[in-house]
Structure formats: structure tokens, C-alpha cells
């Protein structure tokens, strides 16, 4: 094969010169408008640390501003064309699911070797024909959109990574089409009210949109069927729109579930009311395996103020807005409807870095180059694997909850056990003993001891009362306890300071007063630094 010069004067290697170890191939994305790439020079170095040789198709990262020379500097090998790369790679990493390749006049699925592994977004529920075509090749396919949303799989969750970028970009797109500033201003030339933004669906994308809109100074409202997100919304400074229904929309895997007709009618009435008031609506509502639910009707759009904006993040799955046209930006009745389906791709460099990190974590969990294996006993790997050695393994079996531990009690009707009542005199034992101790101290203890005991009791009570009543917002509960103890020491030290400066009691009281003051002042300084961590 002849050498092929790339556009930035680097040279693609012939297949004979390619490495012979376990290799990872990064093809160029062919989906129209897709600028992301499955590995950046930074993540390519991480793959090499896992023992892989990295092959990159020429100009694969051009859309994300990663040149061939940048990959070569990272130790990658540039490959001239897609067939050579797919043929040489043991693991192929992609962003978009395999498409019809216009230059090769064949489907990318046919390039997959029987012994190789493909990792990309697949969407098996929406693409059964693609799944069947990939299975015919005899290889193994892992779908990044099928990673289960459990705690230990968060580092692999590419859906959340891309949703985070998409939510942020949605606000930027809305701001570019909105005719006013987001933040309110009062100037000599006049007053500008802040923009009002409503976010529907508070998942990863929704939270990112709320944070971005608030940072730009907008008044933000948010709605979600899952009541568990209320505190997250409020922590970002937004208002949570709540329907007073005894129904929760929390479904499996952190997604929302389909609600009752009564709930849907109530939320649609809420959206119709808010549409007349807000300036920008951002919708993110999706239910896995189903078309996007219709939330913003044509009548709601017509009721919005001229110049308003609707950003439909569910456009690729049909859209949450009735007038959305996927992939396009239109103006309907004076309202701009943004139905772009490539929001993460519009921040290609950042999105590629996050997605590449997800893939690095996945290949690390698969054992790296030395121990690479598809462990079908691993819950995360099993759920992500949609085809294994040519056999379709999607959908994965549901994970059953562990059975409760068998009880050691004999079977039979449950009998409530009532604890035996304690005798009445046992309840008076401790008060009587404490009273006798106080009487003994009063009869036989010296006068000086009684004076010190009185000081100690007063210091304990006053110190605890003074410090403990401080608002918890000023210091943490743990700091409250330590400050209360320091307050006891300060009160006691003040009572022990006498007129004789050379007295040992005066010196010790002064030392206690100084150390207690330092401790309290330091406690408040630490608390203030902790609180400042939550300020923007």
C-alpha cells in the first residue's frame, strides 16, 4: 500500500508497518455534521498505558481540532483509510453507530472482523436491523448507551457525559437566539428585566441547563415528575414547580416512568400556564425505549411571547414540542424552535475528551490489553454487551433483588412479644443515687470544692447555651460541639481570673481563656472557608 499524505503534512502508515500487538482503532465519523472523535491525543495516551497500540484514521479528529500530528506526537499510528483501520484493529471505538459509508459504498457494519470488538453508541431498541447486521459479522459489540445507571458504572456513563454537554449547549443556543440579556440590569438608558427560563426534565442535561442559565443571571424554574430531584433544583437556586399529586415518576435506573392520565393532564395545564410567562423553555424529557413524550403543544407555542425560544433536547427521538423539526432551527409564530440534534458535537473537543475518558474506563474494566476479556458475569459488562461472538445478547436479563435471609425463628403465626414491665422502684434508682451524692458533697466537701463545682456547672450550662444557639448556617454541627466546649472553657477561665495577677489560678484562667478564644476563632474561619466552597 502506498503512503498517503494527510492534510497537515503528516503521513499515514501502510498496513505492513502497523503494530502487531492488541490494537485499538479510531475511525473517522461519517455521520453528517458529526465532529466528535472516540479518542483524543490525551485519552490515546491513557489507552497506551493500558497496553494498547492506537491506530487513528487520517483526519479523524479534525472536526474536534485534533490534527494528525497531535495524534502522532501522542504515539498513535495514522492509517490512510477506513478499511485498513477496521482490518487491523482488534477493538474499534466509535461515537455514532455504524452508518452507510458514502465513500466506500458499503455499510460500516460489514467492516467489522469476526474476531474484533466494536464499542460505540448503538441504540439497540431503536435499531434492530443494525443489531442483526452486526451479529452476522460474528464479532462482539458493546453499546455505550446501554451502560446501566448504577454507582460503580458512573465512570462509564457516556449518556450522562454527553447530556451534560448538551444541557449546557442548549442554554448557549437559546441565548444566541434570544433578543435580550439573561441577567437583569438597571442602566441610565433604561431597565432590562432578567430572562425567565423553564427547564422540563431534571436529569443530567436539565441540571446542566439550570446551572448554566442561573450563572447567566436568568430566573429559572424547573419541573420533573420525580420528586427526588426537588432538592437538587433548589440547591442550584432554581424554583421547583410541583404538582400536588401522591404519585412519583421515579422509574428504573434513575429515569422517569410513564405517569397516569390525571397527572399528565395536570402537568400539561401547568406547562400551558408557564408558557405564557416564561421567555425560554428547555425540554429534556425522555423515557428509554419509547418516543419522546409530547409536552409543549402547538397551542402553547402560539401563546408564548414573540421572541421566545424553545430548545428541544429530545428532538432526535421525535421531540417534546409539537412543532419541532429535528435537526433544524425554525421560527413559528414569532417563537424560535431549536431542534438541533448535534449539541454535544457543537462542543466537539470537550465532548470527545469526556467520551474518550468513558471508553478508557471501559477498556480498563475489560482487563486492558494484557487481560482483555468480555466478562459476561459482570453486571455492568453484561448489560453493555449487546452482541457477543455473533450472538445477540440484548436485552440483558433483569437483575433480581437478593432474597431475604432465612429467619431462624420457627414458622407459624406471628406472635407479638411484649417486654416485661420493670418494677416501679427501678425507675427511681438513679435519681435517688444522684440526690444522695449531692447531699454527701454538701455535708463533707470543703467550701473551696463547692465554689469550684458551682463555677464548673455554670460554665458548662452557659457555654453550651451560648454557642449551641448560634445558627447552624454559621458553622457545621461538629464545629458547634467543639465551640461549645471552648465556650465552657472561656466562661470558666473568666470566672477564675482574680485581682492577683501572680496567682496560679489567674494565670491558668488566662491561658484557658486565650486557648479557648483561639479555638473558637479558628473554628469559625474553617466554617467560613467550607461555606465559601458552595458560593459561585
Q: Which residues does 66 contact at the CB level (< 8 Å), separation at least 6?
A: 37, 40, 41, 60, 349, 352
Asked if residue 381 lies in contact with residue 375, where contact means CB atoms within 8 angstroms, the answer is yes
Asked if residue 518 lies in contact with residue 483, where contact means CB atoms within 8 angstroms, the answer is no
Q: Which cell goes with 516? A: 479557648
Gyration radius of the chain's alpha carbons: 33
How many Å apart are CA 64 and CA 256, to the nearest integer?
33
Set 10, 42, 96, 149: catalytic member: 149
- The H or E element that residue 265 is part of is helix 261-275
> Is 255 annotated as catalytic?
yes
Q: Mark out the alpha helices in 10-151 (DSSP H runs).
A: 41-49, 68-73, 82-88, 128-136
Residue 106 β-bridge partners: 101
Set 48, 255, 325, 350: catalytic member: 255
Query: How does DSSP assign 144-179, residue by residue?
Result: GGG---SGGGGGG-HHHHHHHHHHHHHHHHHHHH-S
> Is 312 annotated as catalytic?
no
Q: Mark out the alpha helices in 327-446 (DSSP H runs).
A: 348-365, 379-384, 429-444
Which one, of 333, 328, 332, 289, lies nearest residue 312 by Cα?
Answer: 328
Query: How does DSSP assign 451-469, residue by residue?
Result: HHHHHHHHHHHHHHHHHHT
The angle at the Cα of 260, spanning 256 to 262, to the nearest 5 degrees, equals: 130
Set 81, 157, 312, 342: catalytic member: 157
The angle at the Cα of 323, spanning 253 to 306, to the nearest 5 degrees, equals: 115
Which one, of 1, 3, 63, lies nearest residue 28 by Cα?
Answer: 63
> Is 342 annotated as catalytic?
no
> Is 160 annotated as catalytic?
yes
Strand order in the sheet with 53-57: 77-79, 53-57, 23-26, 91-93, 117-120, 140-143, 385-388, 391-392
How many Å apart are CA 23 and CA 90, to the nearest integer?
5
Residue 404's Cβ-side half-sphere holds a number of Cα atoms within 13 Å equal to: 3
Number of H helices and number of E strands within the chain?
15, 21
Set 7, 65, 115, 154: catalytic member: 154
Asked if residue 320 lies in contact with residue 295, where contact means CB atoms within 8 angstroms, the answer is yes
> Is 103 annotated as catalytic?
no
Set 59, 84, 146, 160: catalytic member: 160
Query: Which positions are catalytic?
Result: 149, 154, 157, 160, 255
Amino acid at each position: 500500500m502506498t503512503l498517503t499524505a494527510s492534510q497537515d503534512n503528516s503521513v499515514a502508515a501502510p498496513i505492513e508497518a502497523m503494530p502487531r500487538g492488541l490494537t485499538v482503532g479510531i475511525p473517522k465519523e461519517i455521520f453528517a455534521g458529526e465532529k466528535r472523535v472516540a479518542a483524543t491525543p490525551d485519552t490515546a495516551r491513557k489507552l497506551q498505558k493500558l497496553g494498547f497500540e492506537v491506530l487513528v484514521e487520517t483526519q479523524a479528529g479534525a472536526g474536534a481540532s485534533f490534527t494528525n500530528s497531535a495524534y502522532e506526537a501522542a504515539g498513535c499510528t495514522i492509517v490512510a483509510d477506513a478499511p485498513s483501520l477496521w482490518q487491523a484493529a482488534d477493538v474499534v471505538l466509535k461515537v455514532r453507530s455504524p452508518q452507510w459509508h458514502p465513500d466506500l459504498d458499503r455499510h460500516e457494519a460489514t467492516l467489522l472482523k469476526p474476531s474484533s470488538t466494536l464499542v460505540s453508541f448503538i441504540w439497540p431498541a431503536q435499531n434492530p436491523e443494525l443489531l442483526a447486521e452486526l451479529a452476522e459479522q460474528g464479532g462482539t459489540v458493546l453499546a455505550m448507551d446501554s451502560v446501566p445507571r448504577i454507582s460503580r458504572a458512573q465512570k462509564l456513563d457516556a449518556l450522562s457525559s454527553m447530556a451534560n454537554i448538551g444541557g449546557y449547549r442548549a442554554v448557549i443556543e437559546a441565548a444566541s437566539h434570544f433578543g435580550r440579556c439573561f441577567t437583569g440590569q438597571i442602566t441610565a438608558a433604561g431597565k432590562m428585566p432578567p430572562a425567565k427560563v423553564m427547564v422540563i426534565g431534571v436529569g443530567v442535561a436539565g441540571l446542566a441547563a439550570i446551572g448554566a442559565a442561573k450563572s447567566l443571571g436568568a430566573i429559572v424554574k424547573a419541573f420533573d415528575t420525580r420528586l427526588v430531584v426537588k432538592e437538587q433544583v433548589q440547591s442550584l437556586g432554581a424554583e421547583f414547580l410541583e404538582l400536588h399529586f401522591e404519585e412519583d415518576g421515579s422509574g428504573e435506573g434513575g429515569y422517569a416512568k410513564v405517569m397516569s392520565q390525571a397527572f399528565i393532564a395536570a402537568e400539561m395545564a401547568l406547562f400551558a400556564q408557564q408558557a405564557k410567562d416564561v421567555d425560554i423553555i428547555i425540554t429534556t424529557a425522555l423515557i428509554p425505549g419509547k418516543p419522546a413524550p409530547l409536552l409543549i403543544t402547538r397551542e402553547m407555542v402560539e401563546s408564548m411571547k414573540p421572541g421566545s425560544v424553545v430548545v428541544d433536547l429530545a428532538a432526535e427521538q421525535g421531540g417534546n414540542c409539537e412543532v419541532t423539526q429535528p435537526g433544524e432551527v425554525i421560527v413559528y409564530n414569532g417563537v424560535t424552535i431549536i431542534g438541533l440534534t448535534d449539541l454535544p458535537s457543537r462542543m466537539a473537543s470537550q465532548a470527545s475528551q469526556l467520551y474518550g475518558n468513558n471508553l478508557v474506563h471501559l477498556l480498563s474494566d475489560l482487563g486492558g490489553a494484557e487481560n482483555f476479556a468480555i466478562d459476561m458475569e459482570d453486571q455492568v459488562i453484561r448489560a453493555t454487551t449487546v452482541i457477543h461472538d455473533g450472538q445477540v445478547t440484548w436485552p440483558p436479563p433483569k437483575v433480581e433483588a437478593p432474597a431475604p435471609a432465612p429467619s431462624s425463628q420457627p414458622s407459624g403465626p406471628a406472635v407479638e412479644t411484649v417486654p416485661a414491665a420493670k418494677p416501679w422502684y427501678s425507675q427511681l434508682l438513679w435519681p435517688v443515687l444522684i440526690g444522695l451524692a449531692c447531699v454527701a458533697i454538701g455535708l463533707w466537701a470543703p467550701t473551696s470544692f463547692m465554689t469550684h463545682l458551682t463555677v464548673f456547672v455554670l460554665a458548662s450550662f452557659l457555654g453550651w447555651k451560648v454557642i449551641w444557639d448560634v445558627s447552624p448556617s454559621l458553622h457545621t454541627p461538629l464545629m458547634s460541639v467543639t465551640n461549645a466546649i471552648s465556650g465552657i472553657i472561656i466562661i470558666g477561665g473568666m470566672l477564675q481570673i482574680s485581682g492577683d495577677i501572680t496567682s496560679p489560678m489567674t494565670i491558668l484562667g488566662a491561658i484557658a481563656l486565650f486557648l479557648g478564644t483561639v479555638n473558637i476563632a479558628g473554628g469559625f474561619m474553617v466554617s467560613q472557608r467550607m461555606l465559601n466552597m458552595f458560593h459561585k
